[in-house]
Amino acid sequence: MKLAMETSLKPALDWKQRLFFRFSHPLGPTWLFTPIALLLAGISLEWQPRSVGTVALALVAGLLYWTFIEYFLHRFVFHLVKVQEPWRTMASGLHMAHHRDMDVRELVIAPPLVSLGFSPVIFLVALAFTWSASLAMLVVAGVFLGYVLYEWAHYGAHQYQPKNAFFRYLKRYHLLHHYKDPNGTFGVTTPIWDYVFGTIYRPKS
């Protein structure tokens, strides 16, 4: 399997590429996806009221679900070159441009149209596990909140010097991917799936 880091892609961005990203700061995704998450949760609870514990569990499940989506896309979409155009340029191409120039803020924030485009698939997978449309909506609300947290974590790793120990750890962990291990260490908000799938960075002795 050939990885995108092994090839060179043109850094120029045409109108088709620019269509797929709008935000240069995580406040953009926050303003877009937080209301959607709250709307989904509201519709779900209006449809079928649930206990606080059930709601909390569904949201946490959604957050965990997001971390897997984050890992999967980063590893199997953003770092592949053997996909058809225009997806190669819009996904791997932009991500490789981010690897070449980490200071371009528009390349730090994931394309909102692409993020929204995955929503039906995310919902169907949640539905397959919950067997309840209303509960699946709560899980997807958690996914969207996880996505917002991801954007802040990713942006912070490149633009901030965090004082909090946890966020300093996330910054160091993500920068390992950029500087030491571009073909591994794919997690941004958590290293869990790197440990599960054996893609964690291990210094050569």
Cβ neighbors of 156 (< 8 A, separation 6 or more) are 162, 167, 170, 171
Report how many domains make up the chain: 1
Q: Is 169 inside any structural domain? A: no
pLDDT band at 11 (very low <50, low <70, confident <90, very high): very low
Give residue 36's domain range.
26-161
Q: Is pLDDT above 60 for 15?
A: no
Q: Is pLDDT above 50 for 8?
A: no
pTM score of the predicted model: 0.82
Assess contact for 125 and 42: CB atoms under 8 A: no
Q: Is 180 inside any structural domain? A: no
| Per-residue pLDDT tens digits for 90-107 | 666 666 666 666 666 666
Q: Is 186 inside any structural domain? A: no
Q: Is 183 inside any structural domain? A: no
